[in-house]
Structure 1
Amino acid sequence: MEASSARFRFLAIHCLALLGPFYFNWSAFWLAVALYFVTGLGMTLSYHRNLAHRSFKLPKWLEYSFAYCGVLSHQGSPIQWVSTHRVHHQYTDTWDDPHSPIKGFWYSHFDWIDDLFGSPDALEFKNVGDLKRQWYYRFLHFTYPYHSVALGILLYAGGGLPFLVWGMGVRTVCVLHITFSINSIGHMWGKQVWNTGDLSRNNWLLGLLANGEGWHNNHHAFDYSARQGLEWWEIDTTWYIICFLEAIGLATDVKLPTEAHKKQKALSGKAQS
Structure 2
Amino acid sequence: MDDTTKEDGSGSSRKPVRKEKRSYIFRKWTWIDVMKASSVGTVHLLCILAPFNFKWEALLFGVILAMMSALSITFSYHRNLAHRSFKLPKWLEYSFAYSALFALQGHPIDWAPDKSGPALHRFHHQFTDSDRDPHSPIEGFWFSHVFWIFDSSYIREKGVGGTITYHGTGIVNSACHIWGSRAWNTKDTSRNIWWLGPFTMGESWHNNHHAFETSARYGLEWYQVDLSWYLISFFQALGLATDVKLPSEAQKRKLAFAR
AA in 2 matched with 1:27: E
C-alpha separation in 1, matches of 2:144 and 2:158: 21
Q: Distance in 2 between matches of 1:18 and 1:81?
A: 30
Q: What is the aligned residue count? A: 222
Match of 1:90 in 2: 126
1:81 Cα offset (Å): 3.6
CA RMSD of aligned residues (A): 1.5
**2: CA distance, partners of 1:210 / 1:239:** 12
Structure showing greater radius of gyration is: 2
Q: Is the 8 A contact 1:55 1:224 kept in 2?
A: yes
* Distance in 2 of aligned mates of 1:242 and 1:29: 28
Distance in 1, matches of 2:108 and 2:165, equals: 16
Task: Specify the alignment match of 2:61 in structure 1.
Answer: 31
- Does 1:206 pair with 2:206? no
Equivalent residue number for residue 64 of structure 1: 94
Q: Report deviation, 1:119.
A: 5.4
SS at match of 1:208: coil
Unaligned runs of 5+ in 2: 1-30, 113-118
1:190 corresponds to 2:183 = no
Tell me which amino acid in the other structure corresponds to 1:250.
L
Q: What does residue 166 of structure 1 align with?
A: none
- Gaps (5+ residues) in structure 1? 126-140, 142-171
List per-residue Cα deviations over 1:85-135 (Å, max 9, x = no partner): 0111110111110101111111101111122x3456x4177xxxxxxxxxx
Are residues 80 and 26 of structure 1, via their aligned partners in 2, closer, same or farther at CA, if it must alter by over 3 Å? same
Contact residue 2 and residue 118 of structure 1 kept, 8 A:
no
Q: Which residue of 1 aligns with 2:27?
A: none
Q: Distance in 1 between matches of 2:42 and 2:65?
A: 19
Partner Cα separation in structure 2 for residue 81 and residue 13 of structure 1: 22
**Structure 1 residue 206 displacement after superposition:** 2.1
Write the distance in 2 (CA, Å) between the matches of 1:104 and 1:61.
40
| Residue matched to 2:171 | 181
Is 1:233 the counterpart of 2:223? The answer is: yes
CA distance in 1, matches of 2:138, 2:195: 22
Three-state SS of the structure 2 residue aligned to 1:45 is helix
Contact 2:123/2:158 (8 A) holds in 1: no
Give the percent of matched residue pairs that are identical in Structure 1 and Structure 2.
51
> Which structure has more RCO (C-alpha within 8 Å, separation ≥ 6)?
1
Which segment drifts farther, 233-242 or 35-44? 35-44
One-letter amino acid of the counterpart of residue 95, structure 2: S
- Measured against aligned partners, the alpha-carbon deviations of 1:152-206 in whole angstroms (never above 9, x if no partner) come to xxxxxxxxxxxxxxxxxxxx10110011000000111000110111100000122
Aligned AA (1:98): P
Q: Are 1:266 and 2:251 counterparts?
A: no
